[in-house]
Amino acid sequence: MHSINKLTLGFATLFATSFSVAVIGAQSSPSTEVKLPAAAAGQYQHTAPTLADIESDSDLHPELRKVILKGRDLFMNTQQLRGEYVFNDLNCKSCHMGEGRMAWSGPVWPAATTLPDFRGKNGHVNSLEERIAGCFSFSMNGKAPEYGSDTMLAISAYHQYMAKGAKMYDKNIAGRGFNHLGNKIPEATSYANGQKVYEENCSVCHGSNGAGTKVDGTVVYPPLWGDGSYNWGAGMTRVFTAASFIQNNMPLGQPGRLSDQEAWDVAYFVNAQERPQDPRYTGDAKETREKYMNFHKATLYGTEVNGAVLGQHDNTGDKPFLKPDVLKPRSFN
Ligand code: HEC
Ligand code: HEC
């Protein structure tokens, strides 16, 4: 109880401080105002339904409402699947902020309107369930609930309901994913500056060792590296994805506070730390990098940073296996 109070106080203080800084900053210099990317001309926009909408939608059969709410609950507190399907400290909402509804924070509804589709990451046509399975395998360092199971049905029902009223198969979507900073790491990007940005803006919540903060065994601030984090195959290991996510969402509650270059630097620093093995590991990180270059060209996996090759180890974190079955290839030949 005592530690919860302390944390809450720390959190409130942090917000109070940053709020007054923002207000003072806004008066003296408009460049310190919160900035988020805007929709480009012609882009499709959709506002996903809220919890209140799910609860009040009279078109929903009560049984369906139950399933959608179950899916939402699993999305928000995915740790209830810990040890079965989830083997790190994350929840789906750790990266898909605002209940998976927020633009530029990985809103999940576009998956329901654009799938089935071909996916470069695994080279075949993916269903919505398979896309969800991808985040279980990499981001959650685990394995997917069985296709068609109650758990999978609930999670996919939540995704589909979030897309209620949205256009099918329109891919020119505003706010999809996280990336707007461009997919090339700028030459000026610096590990040392990233470390400095981290210590000044992030370690208060995510810990100086990147392990996050737990109170009585419950994750309050999620880890950014180490065994409790996403593994080397996760989308967030791509430096541009992390840089964009961070710029639009972090420090928590202060989107756009970091400059683009600071976001690149801190994303580079975070993704130059060790984490559980890529489930596609062949036994050699450089070889795995080569084999999945399409993906790993944007990560530091299998490259040398500070004298060591990142990802050259057998550590799968808390997960007692390397590769889940659902990652097996699919072919219609
Ligand atoms: C006030 C506390 C706080 C600060 C400061 C903060 N974060 Fe976070 N961060 C969070 C929380 C909480 C989440 C998960 C969001 C949720 O569950 O709603 C998160 C999620 C993340 C995630 C995605 C989830 C994960 O664990 O991989 C990344 C990456 C991240 N933060 C990076 C950063 C970086 C980099 C900074 C500094 C620029 C930073 N954060 C500052 C609280 C914070
Ligand atoms: C560590 C961060 C992280 C966590 C945790 C995470 N995801 Fe994701 N998710 C991503 C990233 C990054 C992408 C998009 C880019 C990519 O393909 O790499 C993504 C994409 C998605 C998409 C596709 C969205 C679209 O625009 O088509 C869905 C659906 C999704 N995630 C569902 C989930 C579910 C369900 C969970 C929990 C079981 C989850 N994610 C947990 C990072 C995360």
314: its two tokens: 């057998």
pLDDT averaged over every residue in the chain: 89
Give tens-digit pLDDT for 251-278: 999 888 999 999 999 999 999 999 999 9
The Å distance, Cα 253 to ligand 1 centre, comes to 10
Q: What is the pLDDT of residue 30?
A: 38
pTM attached to this predicted model: 0.91
Give tens-digit pLDDT for 51-90: 999 999 999 999 999 999 999 999 999 999 999 999 999 9
pLDDT(10) > 50:
no
CATH for the stretch 51-162: 1.10.760.10
3-state secondary structure 69-131: HHHHHHHHCHHHHECCCECCCCCHHHCCHHHHCCCCCCCCHHHHHHCCEEECCCCEEECHHHH
The predicted structure's pLDDT at residue 180: 78
Q: 191-327: same fold as 51-162? A: yes
Question: How far, in Å, is the centroid of ligand 2 from the Cα of 329?
Answer: 20
pLDDT tens per residue, range 142-161: 999 999 999 999 999 999 99
Residue 128's closest CA among 90, 162, 93, 88?
A: 162
pLDDT of residue 6: 37
Q: Mean pLDDT, to the nearest integer, of 212-237?
A: 96
Q: What contacts 104, CB < 8 A, 6 or more positions away?
A: 36, 37, 175, 177, 178, 180, 244, 248, 249, 255
Mean pLDDT check: name the lowest of 109-113, 264-268, 322-326. Answer: 322-326
Assign 123 a pLDDT band (cuts: 50, 70, 90): confident
Least distant ligand from the CA of 267: 1
Q: Please tell me if the CB atom of residue 93 comes closer than 6 angstroms to any atom of ligand 2.
A: no
> Does residue 323 carry a pLDDT above 60?
yes
> What's the pLDDT at 22?
34
Is the pLDDT score of 36 beyond 90? no
Nearest atom within ligand 1 for CA of residue 98: 18
Q: Quote the pLDDT of residue 329.
A: 65
What band does 314 get if pLDDT is binned at 50, 70 and 90? Answer: very high
State in Å: Cα 135 to ligand 2 middle. Answer: 5
Please report, for the chain, the start and end positions of each structural domain, with discontinuous segments joined by +: 51-162, 191-327
Ligand 2: centre distance to CA 320 (Å)? 22
Q: Does the pLDDT at position 8 exceed 70?
A: no
Cβ of 163 closer than 6 Å to ligand 2, yes or no, is no
| pLDDT for position 27 | 35
Q: Which CATH number fits domain 191-327: 3.40.50.300, 1.10.760.10, 3.30.450.20, 3.40.980.10?
A: 1.10.760.10
